[in-house]
Homo-oligomer: A and B are copies of this chain.
Amino acid sequence: MKGKRIMAENLTVSGLVATTPRHLTTADGVAITSFRLASSNRRFDRTAGKWVDGETNWYTITAFRQLGINVADSVNKGDRIIVQGVLRVRDWDNGERAGTSVEIEAEAVGHDLTWGTSVFTRTVLVRDEPELLTV
């Protein structure tokens, strides 16, 4: 029954890149880029009758393989981005301290054009797309 579930908690976050992205390659050749993202949301204060700043959610964003490489080449601290991915909430304990990490494994990342402009250079070519472009 559970085998039919193919969805994990997928969410989309818009926020500010708060740390310089760190890029590394694992021993078996997988590219990984990670950074911290801060998302401040607005909420409507019914008493005050206006929008006010809400609290900030903090996430660790991780991007793998080609997405990881392109994020490392494109994203800088202070950028405004949009991230779609899978949420992972993990308890950790390193013997000295314990805590909870909140991570998003990115499936798509882009600079948020709400806040600026971007120049895009395609690095991945796909043979089966031309038909869509003939519309």
Q: Per-residue 0/1 for A42-81: is the Cβ within 8 Å of any B Cβ (1 yes, 0 no)?
A: 1110000101011111110001011100110111111111
Interface residue from B13, B108, B113 paired with A70 (Cβ < 8 Å): B113
Mostly helix, strand, loop or mixed at chain A's interface? Answer: strand
A-B contact sample (15 more), CB < 8 A, given A82-B84, A117-B123, A119-B119: A2-B42, A3-B51, A6-B51, A8-B41, A8-B57, A57-B89, A66-B114, A78-B122, A98-B99, A100-B102, A108-B112, A109-B110, A110-B111, A111-B111, A116-B124
B120 touches A121 (CB 8 A): no
Known: A5-B42, A57-B88. A119 touches B116 (CB 8 A): no
Nearest CB in chain B: distance from A74 CB, A: 5
Question: Which residues on the B side are within 8 Å of A24 (C-beta)?
Answer: none
Q: Number of copies of this chain in the oligomer? A: 4
A115 touches B111 (CB 8 A): no
Known: A110-B113, A113-B71, A120-B111. A84 touches B135 (CB 8 A): no
Interface residue from B108, B111, B132, B135 paired with A40 (Cβ < 8 Å): B132
B42 touches A6 (CB 8 A): yes
CB-nearest residue of chain B to A63: B113
A10 within 8 A of B: yes
